[in-house]
């Protein structure tokens, strides 16, 4: 498996990760199936898994995905010493909806809960502030993360759904190694809002969430003729072409597609070996602009 450095940390992870969200929301698969997916991902060399305290059905189910991932890791028979689990805090799930909560006291509590769920014996590998809450300053909301780093509860810190200006504010509080923003053929804002360029310039890992357009749009991938044609030419799935296209955009990009089936993660991993020519990248650019 090809690897990439996580920010400037000196830590290398697989060039493609596994997103845990589909295993814990809405029509979640049976637990045994999800664990099989995580185990297969590890078998295939994936060493970066992305989750969040809010990947659950509602507040009564909080931290579901974190617990699932920890269970999968502790039951895995192979070596997990190089696996990095990235979690997030700062979103709430009242009645299954999504809402921001940047209250420092809440974030202190959820960081502690995530730390305990992952075993409580080593720092959370990467903790990300899920989305800036306008009710609190970025400094106030990230102070608990800074404290947690100093206390040995968190190893590295990242942010999600942040603008360049907000990333700069965050870096004044604590070292930021990753940014996780939406990026897909339908949502190319990181190319124009300066975030992708800033991450590349500052050696910050960019984690594109919802790379296939999310639950509403991933079924529309065949409608993008350029992607469908290149997939046919290369004899790979549409998803592999999207991941290869994203990876071609910048060396700082580390895709984290979600999976809830073993076949999905097996297909995802093949994308690491798919390389697009400049002409093919341009063709997709034009088709999705």
Instruction: Kindly list the catalytic residues.
Output: 55
Specify whether the backbone of 21 is left (phi greater than 0), alpha (psi in -120 to 50) or beta.
Answer: alpha
Determine which helix (DSSP H) or strand (DSSP E) holds 181, and give its type and residue range: strand 178-182
Q: Please give the Cα distance from 137 to 148 (Å, whole number).
A: 18
Q: For the chain, what's the residue count?
A: 289
| Closest of 235, 248, 240 to residue 280, by C-alpha | 248
| Closest of 259, 211, 255 to residue 65, by C-alpha | 259
Determine which helix (DSSP H) or strand (DSSP E) holds 124, and give its type and residue range: strand 124-129
- Residue in the structure block whose two tokens are 């010493």: 81
| Closest of 107, 132, 134 to residue 53, by C-alpha | 107
Burial class (CB in 10 A: 0-12, 13-18, 19+), 105: exposed
């Amino acid at each position: 498996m090809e690897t990439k450095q996580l920010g400037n940390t000196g830590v290398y992870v697989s060039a493609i990760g596994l997103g845990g969200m589909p295993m814990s929301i809405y029509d979640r698969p049976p637990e045994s199936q999800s664990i099989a997916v995580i185990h297969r991902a590890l078998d295939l060399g994936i060493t970066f898994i992305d989750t969040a305290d809010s990947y659950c059905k509602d507040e009564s189910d909080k931290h579901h995905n974190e617990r699932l991932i920890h269970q999968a890791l502790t039951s895995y028979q192979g070596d997990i010493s190089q696996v990095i689990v990235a979690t997030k805090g700062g979103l709430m799930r009242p009645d299954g909806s999504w809402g921001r909560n940047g209250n420092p006291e809440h974030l202190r509590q959820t960081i502690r809960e995530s730390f305990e769920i992952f075993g409580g014996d080593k720092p959370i590998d990467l903790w990300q502030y899920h989305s800036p809450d306008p009710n609190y300053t970025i400094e106030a909301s990230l102070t608990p993360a800074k404290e947690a780093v100093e206390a040995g509860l968190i190893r590295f810190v990242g942010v999600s759904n942040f603008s360049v200006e907000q990333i700069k504010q965050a870096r004044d509080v604590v070292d930021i190694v990753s940014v996780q923003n939406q990026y897909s053929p339908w949502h190319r804002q990181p190319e124009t809002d300066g975030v992708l360029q800033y991450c590349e310039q500052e050696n910050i890992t960019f984690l594109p969430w919802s790379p296939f357009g999310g639950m509403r749009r991933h079924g529309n991938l065949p409608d993008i003729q350029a992607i469908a044609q290149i997939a046919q030419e290369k004899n790979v799935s549409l998803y592999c072409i999207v991941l290869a296209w994203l990876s071609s955009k910048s060396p700082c990009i580390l895709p984290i597609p979600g999976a809830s089936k073993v076949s999905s993660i097996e297909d995802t991993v093949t994308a690491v070996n798919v390389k697009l020519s400049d002409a093919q990248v341009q063709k997709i650019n034009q088709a999705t602009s």
